[in-house]
Structure 1
Amino acid sequence: MWCGGNMRLKHFFIAATAVILSNAYGANQNHPDPVEDVLEKCAYESQAGMRDCLSRSVSESSKVLISAEKKLVSALKQWDEQPKFVSKARDQLIRSDDAYLKYRDAQCAFASALGGGAIGNALELRRLACIFGLNMERAAHLTRLASSLSRK
């Protein structure tokens, strides 16, 4: 349980992580920052509770991402384009998904490393917040792409 000086340390960690990760993702006032939001949501938990909260949030963001991918595949099926271009786009989406997962893992390992000599679960909390943020951003991007396709 966080108390006294540890509570100040926890709030400093949350604020510093939000600033670093928000800047890394280019968040601005026009677009809500998913990392800042999830850290705020989980901030009032114990350290173990915060880890659980972030783990649940990562799981939820994975579901949102899968749903966005399915919506894009569905939109591609309805896309008013020649079948060969639809097929090519679907193949490229699969490649993009694979590349995204590799990028996300590397980027979030880097975000964790920026925690330096942090103690306890702090590095893992940074990694989880990063995964959540990137998943939510990718889901939003795929959703925008799906809605931009002209329908048959």
Structure 2
Amino acid sequence: MTICFLLASVPLLAHAGNAPSQAHSRHAAEVLEQCGEHSQAGMRDCLERKVRESTRTLAEAEATTRAAIRQWDEEPKFVAQAGLKLRASGSEFARYRAAHCAFVASMGGGAILNALELRRLACVFALNAQRTEELTRLAAELPGK
């Protein structure tokens, strides 16, 4: 029952129609499907594990992006500026992720608290995966020295 509720609510996790939102919905649906094989308590444990893994993967993508920026074939002032902007965007992303995923959880209305937490965790995973993909793409596009 819980997995049906959560999968039915995936469109609420992101507004369909633009590429980032579609990626977000896809990531949320995938993680809910992967973890949906478990009991409700097992599902929460699975989602928490997936969030931890996605957080580590995101940190690795940020480190790779920082390294790519340092090796960027560009004037030093632009390299420094990009590094500062990456750090600022990471901080703002964390704030956005917390606020947005709290909002997504609230869209579960009167569902039991565990279901709301499952929605929040799926949202965190999806946003982490989306940002990881974006940073990986941007780092790969930078011409090195």
CA contact (8 A) 1:18 1:39 kept: no
> How many pairs were matched up?
142
Contact 2:10-2:25 within 8 A present in 1 as well: no
Whole-Å separation in 2 of the counterparts to 1:32 and 1:116: 19
Which deviations, in whole Å up to 9, do the C-alpha atoms of 1:76-109 show, x marking residues without a partner? Answer: 1110001111001001111101000000000000
Q: Give the TM-score, by structure 2 length.
A: 0.92
Partner of 1:109: 102
TM-score of the aligned structures, taking structure 1 as reference length: 0.88
Q: Is the 8 A contact 2:61 2:136 kept in 1?
A: yes
Q: 1:51 aligns with which of 41, 44, 65?
A: 44
**Residue aligning to 2:73:** 80
Decide which of 117, 120, 125 is 1:132's aligned counterpart: 125
Determine the structure 2 residue equivalent to 1:5: none
Change (3 A) 1:44 1:22: farther
Larger radius of gyration: 1
Unaligned runs of 5+ in 2: none
1:48–1:20 Cα change, 3 Å: same
| Equivalent position amino acid for 1:26 in 2 | S
| CA–CA distance in structure 2, aligned partners of residues 80 and 141 of structure 1 | 20
Say whether 1:145 aligns with 2:121: no
RMSD: 1.7
Structure 1 segments unaligned to the other structure (5+ residues) = 1-8
| Structure 2 counterpart of 1:20 | 12
